[in-house]
Structure 1
Amino acid sequence: MSPPTNKKETQAFLGAIGFWRMHIPEYSQIVSPLYLVTRKKKTFQWGPEQQHAFAQIKQEIAHAVALGPVRTGPDVKNVLYSAAGSHGLSWSLWQKVPGETRGRPLGFWSQSYRGSEANYTPTEKKILAAYEGVQAASQRARIGKLNRPGILEIITNWPEGENFGLTDEEEQEQVMRAEEAPPYNQLPAEETRYALFTYGSC
């Protein structure tokens, strides 16, 4: 397949490969150079960055990850991995049953940084990746079942320098629900100094 020669061909190519979005880790970051040449106020200019992205996404499609079916049951663990890189956020939802080392992926999501998000600290970027991941995974869990609670049990960072799906070792942190604090006027004196109010004051 030869590379696109104008904006319309680039848009058609991006539309055709959109199906593979959930099968390819960091899809948004890979294709972001292709979106740059489709902007209305810019002239079409295909450079080395676009050529690299074009070749890479074709390679990724050829080796796309097969997604597993959603499984239910008391032994099924749902794990959300999130990562924040220099070009954007990515996360993936996996399911594990006893006897499986890594589990099966249900989907991969990614997005480039929007606005000032690229200027966030590394910690803020990781928090944003986890937040976006929880939103996407919760939405996927509730498709067709509006009253069903979220299915996430474990949220963890993907190990630094590793690609999604290439490691057997996982650092997992069990998500714990915070206990509701007593009203402010019932807190001990030393705790009132550090209490924060959720309606905006502190």
Structure 2
Amino acid sequence: MIKMLDRLLLFLYSIAIGAASIFAIYAVSGAASVSRLRDWISYLREVPSAQGTVIGISVILFLISLRFFIVSIRRSGSSAPSINQRTDFGDIRISVETVENLTLKAASRTRGVKDLKARVRVAESGLQILIRAFIDGEGAIPVLSEEIQRTVSQQVEEATGIPVAEVSVFIANVTQAPTTFKSRVE
């Protein structure tokens, strides 16, 4: 939700900065006379509703600028998403990418699996792992899926010490084995 709000604010901010840039180009290029600009500025000062509108828009643009400044500073110091554990000896941080690679390594040991992708989410109950696989189609899909689930769950828990709450397997497709043709020489 916050990312969507930031994207909306960035969109509005870009439009406002673009309009201000066009106005600046218009004013400096000589297309507008100095007297016309003075008349426009004095109009804004004299009419309370116009003055309030300009002040309101300026405050909103300043707040959006402040928000983007804070977000840019905060994100620059952050690191890759990780799973944190505290032990008697200190803290352990394991990146989510490491767990995904462990998942791929464990799942690839299953016979019949050809291409894999993995996603790991951290939940209160443990790790939620989603595996997308292509298979060769030689064996039963339910048996193959259960074997992947069992292998991944055991190996990830053993390697990381983090409980695996769920391993979901999505069989995306069956790969076709390349056919080999014997060349015939006449």
> What is the TM-score with the length of structure 1 in the denominator?
0.24
> What is the TM-score with the length of structure 2 in the denominator?
0.25
- Greater strand content: 2
The higher radius of gyration belongs to 2
- Greater RCO structure (CA 8 Å; 6+ sep): 1
